[in-house]
Amino acid sequence: MAEQLISTAEHDELPSSYVRPEAQRPRLAEVVADASIPVVDLANPDRAALVSAVGAACRSHGFFQVLNHGIPVELVLSVMAVANEFFRLPAEEKAKLYSDDPAKKMRLSTSFNVRKETVHNWRDYLRLHCYPLEHFVPDWPPSPPSFREIMSTYCKEVRELGFRLYGAISESLGLEQEYIKKVLGEQEQHMAVNFYPKCPEPELTYGLPAHTDPNALTILLMDQQVAGLQVLKEGRWIAVNPQPNALVINIGDQLQALSNGRYKSVWHRAVVNSDRARMSIASFLCPCNDVLIGPAQKLIGDGSPAVYRNYTYAEYYQKFWSRNLDQEHCLELFRTN
């Protein structure tokens, strides 16, 4: 099955299994190229201003870029370099890691969920579980030789950053600083190392179609040279252009539920291009499987009834993976009547 990987060969034409129906194509000419994107400087000494900026971005866009996030530039560069090196490994070496089973905690795969989908996406990806590290790192790819050390160092940094952001997001909702971190339990952490090869016909397909993230918070390391991430704002797709040394933060479905719908899990997609391959590394903070998730008590009442019922993350995640990626928002299935 590893011959399904698209990163092992050059492609002169787009295979028919990747061509979207006319109505579902990305319409790249209609994308807003120069919209202003919220940027939050985490080094801002004025805590109230920082919290306010985070809250405003979560309300208006559901995502923002962060500067001065504390992850060393050298580490970020190493992460990108070793990820690129991984996808340049010989085909036979990558074939050993291939799986299309979404339940596998370490897998090299392609598209999104090839067992279910009818049209494929122009993406190969390495999926890693990252917490607790000592539990999962022994199963990570052994090549390149520095892969495990660099990626595990980055995972620790990202986790700490995610918890700092939870604090600001909690405060922006008028909750205790530790609220989100506590209520989501002992959190899992996953990573997707995404590789989008050069595509002969980018107008006809996606790297990933429009979707929201099922987890709580996503921290995205973007390719600094090649844009491809787009987010939906007021019915229009906006290009997110990489800012030097910034990370992109997006609100996932679980924070939309916890905030009782005040903060929106952002619809986003990845498009591809014909000139250059693109790499992105998404880190996902995920609630503990068995904690009960629902709107914070402080945010309901006084004319604001609960928008979502309580559920466990295990229930949510199972529902998410049983659907196609670009179906209606999975949270709609958990609305109160």
Burial of 62 (0-12, 13-18, 19+ CB in 10 A): buried
Say whether pLDDT at 114 is over 70. Answer: no
Please give the pLDDT value at position 260: 97
Mean pLDDT of all residues in 3-22: 90
Strand order in the sheet with 106-110: 39-41, 63-67, 247-251, 217-222, 278-286, 188-196, 124-129, 106-110
Say whether pLDDT at 321 is over 90. Answer: no
Please give the pLDDT value at position 170: 98
Look at residue 60 and give its three-state secondary structure. Answer: helix
Say whether pLDDT at 198 is over 70. Answer: yes
For residue 66, give Cα distances in angstroms to 42, 245, 271, 319.
7, 9, 22, 31
Tens-digit pLDDT profile for residues 140-183:
999 999 999 999 999 999 999 999 999 999 999 999 999 999 99
Please give the pLDDT value at position 83: 98
Tens-digit pLDDT profile for residues 300-313:
987 889 999 999 99
Mean pLDDT of all residues in 14-25: 94
Mean pLDDT of all residues in 102-128: 86
Centroid of chain to Cα 192: 8
Please give the pLDDT value at position 174: 98
Give the confidence band of 117 by pLDDT, cuts at 50, 70, 90.
confident
Please give the pLDDT value at position 325: 62
Round to whole Å and give the CA distance between 277 and 275. 7
Please give the pLDDT value at position 303: 85
Tens-digit pLDDT profile for residues 255-270:
999 999 999 999 999 9
